[in-house]
């Protein structure tokens, strides 16, 4: 209930405001704020949550606006029909632009969206059919059976009802299986891909959703202003939309409304105040916005809403999953049968052979330790097996299937789960939500069902599984803790629980004891012994010799990329070559 408070408050406020005897000017202001907030809400998803910066949102607003303007004026179509035509056109364009640009990294994506925004602006301004820079005039206001709802208070209700619906659907989305995948995008793609998530597809998806939000705003704007011209959809507006999202709080859905309100009011005020101050008129407000943006980014990098969000942290999800069905489990190789066969895998980085024809295998129920001095090639071997790096040559067979050329998310889907040498998690998500990401491939609900919240049965199953795996390794007390607040030890255990959520046939752990204190190491060793007792197959890369000798059945020793020897811990310890190469330097 508490979680829905902002939505309920806003939903209750809208009809009250509509009935209050406010001056028309303020209603018009609120209408603009609602329109702008709709666009920047899309940007919250795209930029704030997904980490993809777009300056081109105004162009999508323009597509929605021009589509309805041209079709209603020239073909006499109903605006309620042209809304969907506009959405379809925007969707197709966003898909094409997204598929081309979203593989770009770093600054290329923002640059590409600037180019896209500019080209559409000049296209709108130069096409005769679109009235060139004068635009299209004389649009009809929106109406429902002769009642004009396109102006004033009724438009306010329409616009803000759409805004609230948009906010609710985005909040629903972020709190779901695809939502957790979207929230993982900002931190790089490696972890998400290792959970079986197709990160590129989600980038395109949020680009599309943001564009559709913009298109709806454009449709509303066109019929509200009853005229469209390119100036409302140029790069300056593209920058302002981004600015609204950043000021309000780029990761927060509600921040979009705060940001839109502030920018609109500030913009109006500055247009009056600045000429009076400086004595001349011009677009000086852009400079003030620039300075304000720098200040916000410096002192409140998460935007204004982050202050509110910190004051009222999100309470734990009010969901009861104790009666949910268990997730189906995969069939795994029987004890002693081969799980992993590594056959002469090789990796060359230019002239350096980091991994030189390494072969070994793991039988079901075994814990195999991969050890060797720093730079021996352990992590590279790990990445070759999990599909993060491509092999120069060699073969990896997992549960009887050749996975040599599969990407990491396909390998993970087959039941190979891993942790990372440097913990990779979503710090502002709860431990439970982080762990539920591990079960991503065991669910199927998509964006639509998550927005409409028809995904709840599956969500309950995923949460139940996440809780079960956390309790399995003794982390039951941390379910609703923010992952970022955990100490190193529990963070590493959380990663193991996340990997277990994938129902793995093989678990790969990359230096799970690194950075742990003595007590935390003991807890980790306890968890590994327990998993061993349950018959889990594990490949363990680890520096801590006590731990390795304690839990491993077999050791594979690497040095300078080559296989030095392999055998039981006792055999390896007795091997003079190993003592010279490795243990001698360590102990």
* Closer residue to Mg ion (CB): 189 or 379: 379
d(CA 318, CA 213): 28
Check binding of 378 to ligand ADP (CB under 6 A): yes
User: Quick one: 366 or 383, whose CB is closer to Mg ion?
Assistant: 383
Can residue 372 be called a binding residue for ligand ADP (CB under 6 A)?
A: yes
Nearest CA to 96 out of 216, 204, 246 is that of 204
Stretch that binds Mg ion, among 29-37, 268-276, 373-381, 572-580 (CB under 5 A): 373-381
**Which pair of tokens denotes residue 253?**
């859905």
Q: Return the one option of ligand ADP, Mg ion, none that residue 93 interacts with (CB less than 5 to 8 A, by type).
A: none
- In angstroms, what is the minimal distance from the CB of 188 to ligand ADP? 15
331: contact with ligand ADP by CB under 6 A: no
Q: How far is CA 502 from CA 99, 327, 449, in A?
A: 29, 10, 22
Q: Which does 177 bind (CB under 5 to 8 A by kind): ligand ADP, Mg ion, none?
A: none
Closest approach of Cβ 288 to Mg ion, in Å?
Answer: 50
Residue 390: CB minimum distance to Mg ion, A: 18
Question: What's the min distance (Å) between Cβ of 540 and ligand ADP?
Answer: 13
Among 151, 176, 379, 467, binds ligand ADP (CB under 6 A): 379
Q: Give whichever of 268 and 586 is closer to ligand ADP, judged by the CB atom.
A: 586
Report the distance separating Cα 19 and Cα 10, nearest Å. 15
Q: Does 188 bind ligand ADP (CB under 6 A)?
A: no
Q: Given the complex with ligand ADP, which of 419 and 467 has the nearer CB atom? A: 419
b/e sequence 138-157, b meaning 16+ C-beta within 10 Å: ebebbbeeeeebbbbbbbbb
Query: By CB under 6 A, what part of segment 341-370 binds ligand ADP?
Result: 349, 352, 354
Give 175 or 510: the residue with its C-beta nearer to Mg ion.
Answer: 510
* Token pair for 272: 């009056």
Nearest alpha-carbon partner for 59 in 273, 302, 312, 242: 242
Interface stretch with ligand ADP, choices 7-15, 199-207, 375-383, 492-500 (CB under 6 A): 375-383
How far, CA to CA in Å, does 397 sit from each of 336, 343, 384, 504? 16, 8, 12, 15
What is the closest distance, in whole angstroms, from the C-beta atom of residue 199 to Mg ion in the complex?
A: 23
From Mg ion, ligand ADP, none, which one binds at residue 109 (CB under 5 to 8 Å depending on kind)? none
Three-state DSSP class for residue 167: helix
CB 418 within 8 A of CB 386: yes
- Long-range Cβ pairs for the range 472-477 (8 Å, 24+): 472/497, 472/500, 473/497, 473/500, 473/527, 473/530, 473/531, 474/523, 474/526, 474/527, 475/431
Alpha-carbon distances, residue 271 vs 275, 290, 406, 432, 478 (angstroms): 7, 15, 58, 49, 52
- What is the nearest approach in angstroms of ligand ADP to the Cβ of residue 578? 15
Sole binder of ligand ADP in the list 145, 318, 374, 519 (CB under 6 A):
374
The smaller minimum CB distance to ligand ADP, of residues 235 and 376, is found at 376
Torsion of CA 533, 535, 536, 541, to 10 degrees: 60
Cβ distance 165 to 10 under 8 Å?
Answer: no
Greatest alpha-carbon pair distance for the chain in Å reads: 93
Among 42, 218, 377, 415, binds ligand ADP (CB under 6 A): 377
381 near Mg ion, rule: CB under 5 A? no
If one asks whether residue 380 binds ligand ADP (CB under 6 A), the answer comes out as yes
354 binds, among ligand ADP, Mg ion, none (CB under 5 to 8 A by kind): ligand ADP
> Residue 375, interface with ligand ADP (CB under 6 A)?
yes
336 lines the binding site for ligand ADP (CB under 6 A): no
Among 101, 229, 379, 575, binds Mg ion (CB under 5 A): 379
Provide, rounded to whole angstroms, the least separation between the CB of residue 383 and Mg ion: 9
Among the residue ranges 83-91, 371-379, 460-468, 569-577, the one whose residues contact Mg ion (CB under 5 A): 371-379
Nearer to ligand ADP, 298 or 422 (CB): 422
Per the CB < 8 A criterion, the answer to whether 531 and 507 are in contact is yes
Structural tokens at position 406: 């599969």
Query: How many Cβ atoms from other residues are within 10 Å of residue 110's Cβ?
Result: 18
Least distance from Mg ion to the Cβ atom of residue 389, Å: 13
- 258 or 509: CB nearest ligand ADP: 509
Please give the structure tokens belonging to residue 452. 């409409």
62 binds ligand ADP (CB under 6 A): no
Q: How many chain residues are in contact with ligand ADP, going by CB under 6 A?
A: 11
Concatenating the DSSP letter of every residue in 374-409 gives: TTSSHHHHHHHHHTSS--SEEEEEETTEE-TT--HH
Q: Give the nearest distance from C-beta 461 to Mg ion in angstroms.
A: 35
Nearest alpha-carbon partner for 218 in 386, 345, 63:
63
Residues 6+ apart with CB under 8 A from 517: 488, 489
3-state SS, residue 39: helix
Q: Which does 372 bind (CB under 5 to 8 A by kind): Mg ion, ligand ADP, none?
A: ligand ADP
CB of 557 to Mg ion, least distance (A): 15
Nearest in space to 3 (alpha carbons), one of 290, 309, 282: 309
Q: Which stretch binds ligand ADP (CB under 6 A): 99-107, 251-259, 280-288, 371-379?
A: 371-379
What does 322 bind: ligand ADP, Mg ion, none (CB cut-off 5 to 8 Å by kind)?
A: none
- Residue identified by tokens 């998530």 is 197
Task: Provide the binding-site residues for ligand ADP, judged by CB under 6 A.
Answer: 349, 352, 354, 372, 374-380
Task: Provide the binding-site residues for Mg ion, judged by CB under 5 A.
Answer: 379
């Amino acid at each position: 209930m508490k979680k829905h408070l902002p939505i309920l408050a806003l939903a209750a406020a809208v009809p009250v405001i509509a009935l209050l005897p406010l001056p028309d000017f303020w209603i018009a202001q609120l209408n603009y704020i609602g329109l702008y907030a709709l666009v920047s809400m899309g940007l919250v998803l795209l930029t704030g949550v997904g980490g993809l910066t777009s300056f081109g949102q105004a162009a999508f607003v323009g597509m929605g606006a021009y589509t309805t303007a041209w079709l209603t004026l020239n073909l006499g179509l109903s605006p309620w029909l042209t809304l969907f035509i506009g959405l379809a056109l925007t969707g197709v364009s966003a898909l094409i632009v997204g598929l081309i640009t979203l593989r770009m990294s770093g600054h290329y994506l923002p640059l590409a969206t600037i180019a896209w925004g500019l080209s559409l602006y000049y296209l709108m301004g130069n096409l005769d059919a679109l009235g060139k820079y004068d635009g299209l005039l004389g649009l009809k206001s929106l109406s429902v059976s002769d009642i004009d709802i396109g102006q004033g208070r009724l438009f306010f209700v329409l616009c803000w009802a759409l805004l609230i619906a948009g906010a609710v659907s985005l909040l629903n989305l972020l709190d779901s299986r695809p939502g957790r995948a979207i929230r993982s995008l900002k931190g790089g793609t490696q972890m998400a891909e290792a959970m079986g998530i197709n990160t590129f597809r989600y980038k395109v998806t949020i680009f599309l959703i943001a564009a559709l939000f913009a298109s709806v705003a454009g449709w509303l704007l066109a019929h509200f202003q009853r005229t469209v011209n390119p100036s409302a959809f140029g790069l300056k507006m593209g920058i302002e939309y981004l600015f609204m999202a950043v000021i309000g709080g780029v990761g927060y859905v509600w921040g979009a409304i705060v940001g839109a309100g502030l920018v609109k009011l500030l913009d109006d005020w500055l247009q009056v105040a600045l000429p009076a101050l400086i004595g001349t008129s011009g677009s000086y407000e852009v400079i003030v916005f620039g300075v304000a943006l720098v200040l916000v980014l410096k002192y409140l990098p998460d935007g204004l809403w982050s202050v509110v969000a910190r004051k009222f942290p999100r309470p734990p999800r009010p969901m009861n999953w104790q009666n949910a069905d268990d997730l189906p489990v995969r069939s795994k190789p029987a004890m002693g049968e081969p799980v992993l066969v590594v056959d002469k895998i090789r990796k060359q980085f230019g002239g350096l052979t980091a991994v030189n024809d390494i072969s070994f295998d793991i039988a079901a129920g075994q814990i195999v330790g991969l050890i060797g001095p720093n730079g021996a090639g352990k992590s590279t071997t790990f990445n070759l097996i999990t599909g993060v790096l491509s092999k120069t040559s060699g073969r990896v067979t997992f549960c009887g299937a050749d996975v040599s050329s599969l990407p990491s998310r396909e390998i993970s889907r087959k039941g190979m789960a891993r942790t990372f040498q440097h913990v990779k998690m979503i710090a502002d998500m709860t431990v439970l939500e982080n762990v539920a990401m591990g079960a991503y491939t065991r669910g199927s609900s998509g964006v639509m069902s998550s927005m409409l919240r028809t995904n709840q049965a599956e969500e309950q199953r995923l949460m139940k599984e996440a809780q079960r795996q956390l309790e399995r390794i003794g982390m039951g007390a941390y379910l609703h803790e923010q992952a970022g607040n955990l100490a190193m030890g529990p963070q590493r255990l959380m990663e193991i629980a996340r990997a277990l959520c994938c129902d793995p046939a093989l678990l790969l752990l990359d230096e799970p004891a690194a950075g742990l204190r003595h007590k935390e190491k003991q807890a980790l060793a306890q968890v590994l012994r327990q998993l061993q007792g349950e018959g889990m197959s594990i490949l363990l890369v680890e520096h801590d010799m006590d731990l390795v000798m304690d839990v491993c059945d077999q050791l594979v020793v690497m040095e300078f990329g080559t296989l030095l020897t392999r055998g039981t811990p006792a055999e390896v310890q007795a091997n003079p070559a190993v003592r010279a190469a490795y243990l001698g330097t360590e102990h």
